[in-house]
Structure 1
Amino acid sequence: MIHYLKKHKTITLSIITSVIIFCFFAYQLERRNFYELIFSFSFLFGLFLYQFNKISSWKLLVFIAIAFRLIFLFAIPNLSQDFYRFIWDGRMLLNGLNPYLYLPQDFILGNYIIPNQANELVNGMQELNASHYSNYPPLNQLCFLIAALLFNNNILGSIIVMRVLLIVADIGILYIGKKLLISLNLNPKFIFFYLLNPFIIIELIGNLHFEGFMIFFLLWGIYLFQKGKWKIAALLIACSISIKLLPLLFLPLFFSRLKINELITFYSVIGGLTIIFFIPFLSEELIHNYSKSIGLWFGQFEFNGSFHNLIKYIGKQFDVINITKILGKTTPILVFVYVIYLSLKRKIENTITLISFMVLTLSFYLFTTATVHPWYVAMLLALSIFTKYRFPLVWSFSIMLSYSFYRDENFSNNYLLLFLEYAIVFGYMMYEFTTKKNPA
């Protein structure tokens, strides 16, 4: 590997430059400095594409993918404050308390035995997060608990533990993703569209979002499903759902891949294991609190939506009252109808078609929902690697424009940049749909 770097000096220079910019992202950049963020990220993304195309050494690709992640090991996330809630939930569990039943702000205002560094954690997660019940599924909570077990009174220590877990998840994605690509007769190097992408490194490793574990379990499940081991695949898909609920969208797509009796068993295993994971948290208030938190994402929160903002604008022109609540109720229905349509559209005869329909389903959801944080695109990018679609790769670049929302204290949308983000994505997507007659 060292001989390879000595021989290819331009590649070596690109790697060194990437290291410097990643260090800037990890330890210097502030979220409000949008122009520094977008310029630095654009440079990183260009270096990523260069490295993907020019580096032929598999060992070097793996090495720099891991090395870039390790740069963030001791950094406190600077683009998202969600990690404070993760640490809070883990310490709640360590104290024998159910994180689904209590609001963080109640602990500060009430007479509860509060977790260590409670004031710092609540201030860090900010009022919006502190005033709502936790919506992170059970296996995600397990990750938080591990961090609390090892560091119950040290925020940076908890961050390091969670970051190590996420790096391990990405190593798992490397291993299983390569095997799945080979089994589908695709270029195994495609896995580096995910692993080397600065969007993934910054959003998942840097900002501590657990989509990596969700993706790992889902890809592992798809790989085993491809090999005919659908019962074990069901267990892994349940694990993926128990990290983040998003894979629930894909369940109808398995209709045509199994016989009726197999299908019943498949869904029963997924549903049963998901329920089992929730059993330690069961109480009369759990369903109410959890559904309330999930409902808020559809009916109240808004960030970086595309068609949602367009329809909202049109609704206001016609004086439609409570347009956000109306859209919040109709969007899940539209997504459900769309995924059923896809599952019945034609028989899904192979795994590439199955994954392609997953990409279409998730895209439809993200294009219609009110809230699209950057890390939401991670799953879309990971799945697209196994298809002919590359618009998610383009979106993994343009979605960073959404950080313009934080450029001042007013936290307001820059609709010109929002339009540019989606114009780039839709433009490339239309190009793919018109030039690739059968992308699935």
Structure 2
Amino acid sequence: MKALWKYHKVPFLFFIVSSLLYLWFAYAIVRTNTIQLLFAYVLLFAFAYKIISSSEFNSSKFKLLVVFSIVLRLLFLFATPNLSQDFYRFIWDGRMILESFNPYLYTPDSFMDSGKFPVAQGQELYNGMGELSASHYTNYPPINQILFTVAALFSGHSILGSAIVMRLIIIVADIGTLYFGKKLLERLNLPSKRIFWYILNPFIIIELTGNLHFEGVMIFFLIWSLYLLHSGKWKWAAVVFACSISVKLIPLMLLPLFFGWFRKNSVISNDIEKPKKPFIPTDIGSAEGDIPVNLNFWKLILFYVIIGMTTLLLFLPFFSMEFVTNYSKTVGLWFGNFEFNASIYYLARAIGYAQTGYNEIAIIGKILPVISVLIILGFSFFRNNNTLPQLIGSMLLAFTCYLFLSTTVHPWYIATLVIFCVFTNYKFPLIWSLVIILSYLAYSNAANSENLWIIGLEYLIVFSVFIWEVILKKRLPVS
């Protein structure tokens, strides 16, 4: 311990101060407290930077940062989420399953109208989740529902108990991301310390561990899948990728990007075969040990089939025609009805108001997803994705464009960008993870209305860094 203190005094000091700030954030700050929220958040980012970058990085510091990462998450263990109310719906869905109800077939409102709640503390959960969630069918995929059920099973009738169980699940998932992320970075000959820009990022700790968003579990499966893909175990990669989809649907949009990978290259693990000749990367983004070989087109088809079949099997316990109708309707609402923290959409909406005097979300919300699909297809068919760094770089840029065109961008949505950027030279997701806190200023007033000047400031910063890195500097994905 004395040796650790001697060589890592600065990280220890910033860790101690960060711990106090996280405790304040978890148990005292509410989202309507704008000044406290911004002050604590910005300080935590500054301290995280100092913890990661100070002193020489070696195996002892890596272990130290792992301990810091786990301890800082455990500080939230007994806290009720203070920036999001989604966890009330998570608990509702889990308890519904324990009571033998299919959560996809009922809205909380349908029970409210009858005056009978199917779950313990139904009224409290209903009040906590808010009108928007209560009036719609659940949109959380099956693995999410299983995890909600586990939380309900082990917590009895305690709302805080359910939050604790879910928080432990998310912490374990983050440890898994740390494990496979480090191994993947090492396989790509990238510094292993990069993983801490995700693991020690205050945005990730607060939004996932603190606010109980299951993007952390989705990301764990996603990174595990990419690690298996790079190891040549593409069939298992497909199964794990389907698990990622079954936590959150986001990875579905990334599927076309695998076309370039399977069309041109297969990755043979260094543990399986060594190249007979020195491997010369075609660009800086190539990873040593990636061996180009001809691959039958049918492997790509089988990869998609395994993903599709695994996903369907996970949905099967909940399946009915009513489920299909309800689920597709709920997912569709995110494109045509909801608005929050958008960028290009808000500009298009303003133009629509100027032209017609009405909010044209019904029209714009149908056009923007089409543009997103075209962009993703462009990255799939007109960009080299035959090495893992190139593939991850395309995933990062494609998903970024999707968020730029979305009508709704909740803060936790960008967690996927943060993990992708760890494997690239792009830093704009890290900047976005800092300024995304500005979106919470919408809750500083009773009407929860957004100040478009503040949203404009957020995106001015994000777009400026994005344009500089992606267009002006013309950076390749990985150095």
State the TM-score, normalized to the length of structure 2.
0.90
The aligned amino acid for 2:314 is F
Q: Cα deviation per residue 1:272-319 (whole Å; 9 max; x = unaligned)?
A: 111111110011210110011111111111100000101111111111
Give 2:465's aligned residue. Answer: 428
User: How do 1:146-165 and structure 2 match up within 5 A?
Assistant: 146-165=150-169
Deviations 1:246-267 (A, max 9, x none): 0011100011222311011010
- Aligned pair in 2 of structure 1 residues 353, 320: CA closer, same or farther (>3 Å)? farther
1:103-135 deviation digits (Å, cap 9, x = unpaired): 112222226561000000000001111010000
Q: Report whether the alignment pairs 1:439 with 2:463.
A: no
Q: Does 1:125 align with 2:163?
A: no
Contact 1:91 1:152 in 2 (8 A): no
| 1:108 maps to which of 104, 112, 128 | 112
Match in the other structure for 2:404: 367
Which residue type is aligned with residue 388 of structure 1?
N
The 2-side partners of 1:278 and 1:349 are apart by 31
CA contact (8 A) 1:108 1:118 kept: no
Counterparts of 1:419 and 1:284 in 2: how far apart (Å)? 42
The answer to whether the 8 A contact 2:225-2:241 is kept is yes
Q: Kindly tell me: are residues 30 and 319 of structure 1, through their superposed partners in 2, closer, same or farther at Cα, counting changes over 3 Å?
A: same
The alpha carbon displacement at 1:227 in A equals 1.4
Residue 330 (structure 1) aligns with: 367
The one-letter amino acid of 2:311's match is T
Offset from partner CA, 1:301-347 (integer Å, 9 cap, x none): 11000001011111111116451111211222111111111111133
Question: Aligned match of 1:300 in 337, 354, 363?
Answer: 337
Task: Identify which range, 165-174 or 252-261, moves more after superposition.
Answer: 252-261
Q: 2-side partners of 1:349 and 1:183: how far apart? A: 16
Shift of 1:370: 0.8
Aligned to 1:406: 443
Query: Who is 2:291 aligned against?
Result: none
Offset, 1:11: 3.0
Which blocks of at least 5 consecutive residues in structure 2 are unaligned? 263-295
Deviation, 1:2, is 4.5
Question: Please, which of 419, 423, 428 is the counterpart of residue 391 of structure 1?
Answer: 428
Structure 1 Cα separation of the partners of residues 305 and 45 of structure 2: 42
1:355 to 386, 392, 408: 392
Q: Secondary structure at the match of 2:373?
A: helix
In structure 2, give the amino acid aligned to 1:84. Y
Write the deviation string for residues 65-94 of structure 1: whole angstroms up to 9, x where unpaired: 100000000000010000000000000000
Displacement of 1:414 in angstroms is 1.3
Residue aligning to 1:167: 171
Give the Cα–Cα distance (whole angstroms) in 1 for the partners of residues 147 and 195 of structure 2. Answer: 25
SS at the partner of 1:285? Answer: helix
| Deviates most, 175-184 or 410-419 | 410-419
Q: Which moved more, 1:177-186 or 1:54-63?
A: 54-63
Could you tell me which residue of structure 1 aligns to residue 203 of structure 2?
199
Which AA in structure 2 matches 1:415? L
Alignment of 1:337-348 (within 5 A): 337-348=374-385
Q: Which runs of 5+ in 1 are unaligned?
A: none
Work out the CA distance in 1 between the residues paired with 2:69 and 2:251.
26
Write the distance in 2 (CA, Å) between the matches of 1:426 and 1:75. Answer: 34
Distance in 2, Cα, partners of 1:367 & 1:320: 24
What is the aligned partner in structure 2 of residue 53 from structure 1?
53
Distance 1:266 1:388 in 2: 29
Q: Does 1:40 align with 2:40?
A: yes
2:138 partner amino acid = S
Q: List, as ranges, runs of 4+ consecutive aligned residues in structure 1 with deviation greater than 4 Å.
A: none
Contact 1:253 1:354 in 2 (8 A): yes
337-346 or 21-30: which moved more?
Answer: 337-346
Query: Cα offset for 1:101?
Result: 0.3
Look up the SS of the partner of 1:243 in the other structure. Answer: coil
Q: What does residue 317 of structure 2 align with? A: 280
What is aligned with 1:249?
Answer: 253
User: Aligned to 1:21, what secondary structure does the other structure show?
Assistant: helix
In 2, the alpha carbon distance for the partners of 1:19 and 1:437 equals 36
- Asked if the contact 2:349–2:359 (Cα under 8 Å) also holds between the matched residues in 1, the reply is no
Equivalent position of 1:90 in the other structure: 94
Task: Provide the rounded CA distance (Å) in 1 between the counterparts of 2:183 and 2:432.
Answer: 25
CA–CA distance in 2 between the matches of 1:5 and 1:212?
Answer: 31
Q: Matched residues in 2 for 1:111 and 1:68: separation?
A: 42
Among 237, 261, 273, which residue is 1:233 paired with? 237
Whole-angstrom distance in 2 between the partners of 1:437 and 1:127: 45
Seen in structure 2, the aligned counterparts of structure 1 residues 327 and 73 have a Cα distance that, compared at 3 Å, is same
Give a deviation string over 1:132-160, Cα, whole Å, max 9, x none. 00000000001000001111311011000
Question: What is the identity, as a one-letter code, of the residue corresponding to 2:39?
Answer: F
**CA distance in structure 2 between the aligned counterparts of 1:321 and 1:77, rounded to whole angstroms:** 36
- Per-residue Cα deviation, 1:41-100 (whole angstroms, up to 9, x for no partner): 001100011111015311110011100000000000010000000000000000110000
Q: What is the match of residue 315 of structure 1?
A: 352
Amino acid at match of 1:241: I
Q: Does 1:266 align with 2:300?
A: no
Q: How many percent identity over aligned positions?
A: 50
Q: d(CA) in 2 for partners of 1:359 and 1:409?
A: 36
Q: Are the equivalent residues in 1 in contact too, given 2:88–2:125 (CA < 8 A)?
A: yes
Preserved CA contact (<8 Å) 1:306 1:367: yes
Q: Counterpart amino acid of 1:435?
A: K
Q: Kindly tell me the number of residue pairs found equivalent between the two proteins.
A: 440
